[in-house]
Chains A and B, each alone.
Chain A
Amino acid sequence: MSTRREVLCLQDVWAGYNGRPVLEGINLSVKEQDFVGIIGPNGGGKTTLLKVMLGLMQPTRGRVRVLGQSAVQARRFIGYVPQQVHLDRDFPVNVWDVALMGRLGRRGLLRRYTSQDRHAVARALQQVEMLDAKDRPIGELSTGQRQRVYIARALATEPQILFMDEPTASVDAHITTSIYELLQKLNEHITILLVSHDMGVISSHVKTVGCLNRRLFYHESKEITPDMLEEAYHCPIDLIAHGVPHRVFAHHSREEAEA
């Protein structure tokens, strides 16, 4: 365990908007081939945390190191899968061209995509089983299919770490399972960190779980303790998890967890 390299390190990170902190004293250490799920309520700072780690937002205090570099420098080793709701469904673009955007960082300005780029994109689409759909308009796909394309776009960057924002929001339960199976396969080579408000799905697939609500409760384990949830959600545990404290959702289907 201890021989694995640390790829992500946050030390006492504070960040916020207009002087109002959204993240308070975040400490986080992620090692190679970790698969970290961070859950928390909406407005708890999940997307802000990703922004800080991607260098899209400067922390007001603290230190962020990604692969031993600053967040901005490390971007070219990061694959990012954003939250789908922010993207225009009717945009006139097909699957292939969306996935090609994953190669932008490799090519730079005034350079055309090469056959190497096309190979990488084809491989990425193959991995998510969307290569056959490469000519289809992105707006025609189902939410789950589109999510696969965004994962392929992130994979096309040939990343060392994958950051994902709500990867299975508004996706059917069985599609959710297939996406997590894909992620588990990818995790053999790539470190994955994802954030979601949907803890039911997360905890049965990832290796370690943390709870974020301004402050982060993370103990490098898969257990979500009642204390963590109480701290993060400020509500009694059984409202969320039927009062089952250990490896809370392992025996639960998604429907039960949501009921």
Chain B
Amino acid sequence: MIEALQFDFMRHALVAGALVSIACGVIGVYVVVNRLVFVSGGIAHAAYGGIGLGYFLGINPVWGAIAFSLAAALGMGLVQRKTRHRADTIIGVMWAIGMAAGILFVDLTRGYVVDLMSYLFGSILTVPRSDLVLMAILDVVIVALVAAFYKELLALSYDETFATVENVPVGTIYIILLCLVALTVVMLMRVVGLIMVIALLTMPAAISEQFTSNLKKMMILSIVLGIVFTTTGLWLSYALNLTSGATIILVSGTVFLLSLLYKAVAKRRARIQA
């Protein structure tokens, strides 16, 4: 591992892992407690349309992804709030349409699109310095907005009706939350690919939820776990010559399953003692 650090790409990858872990840890907590996993998956896949559009227009696909994911967040947020029934169907449809649009945009783009796969499966090893700067900026935006609306986000997540009665603009706050999910998804896409975005968004938060009952502590623990997972995954993928994104996911998944097992055993022990 130490000798790997002499490579620029490895140092960049480690920094990228840490930067996404921050966004993931903070936003993943809201995704888990608000049960937004499906919507997050929808936003991630709809963002693929933006990547295709980016190639088609010859601009950095990340900008396309940001635009599409934000649009998807707005659309899905409105659908979820206005139509209580069948919201999941409509979100599923938007998920597929975004994906399909991306594929067609790429079809229409002249020449061979080389690193398209990197958006599907991630390519943390090829993150350029400019993307690191963008990630850092997105982190600052995400953390600042969550800090600014922390008490409203907590109230909305816990008891939306009560928050409404307290005159919290729940509709606006909800849309802001989904937009933050969208930005996080775009960052994550670089690291693990859009197909596995959900895994890294949810697993650190789901693990930490088992060990704390405080939202802020849950965020900090999720960030630490995210950094541990990306670093361990990177090291394993380097040592064993495996795909980095998938290795990171499997490391997280293994720890997640172990944490479930630990919890089950602890519960059982408590029951026996009682």
Q: Which residues of A contact B (CB under 8 A)?
A: 54, 56, 75-76, 78, 80, 82, 86-88, 91-94, 97-98, 100-102, 104-105, 107-110, 113, 137-140, 153, 157
Contact = CB atoms under 8 A, between A and B. Distances in A.
A241 B218 CA distance: 51
Label chain B's interface by main secondary structure: helix
Contacts of B167: 75-76, 104-105, 108
Interface of B: 33, 148-149, 151-152, 154-155, 157-159, 161-169, 209, 212-215, 218
Contacts, number: 75
Contact of A94 (B155, B162, B213): B213
A154 B166 CA distance: 10
B33 A56 contact: no
Nearest to B150: A112
B162 A153 contact: yes
- Best-surrounded residue of B163, B167, B218 (most CB of chain A within 10 A): B167
Contacts of B212: 92
11 contacts: A76-B167, A78-B165, A82-B159, A92-B214, A93-B214, A97-B154, A100-B151, A101-B155, A102-B166, A110-B149, A138-B213
A105 B167 CA distance: 6
B159 A92 contact: no
Contacts of B148: 110
A77 to B, nearest CB: 11
A92 B218 contact: yes
Nearest to A157: B166
Given A80-B165, A92-B212, A157-B166, A87 B159 contact: yes
Nearest to B149: A109
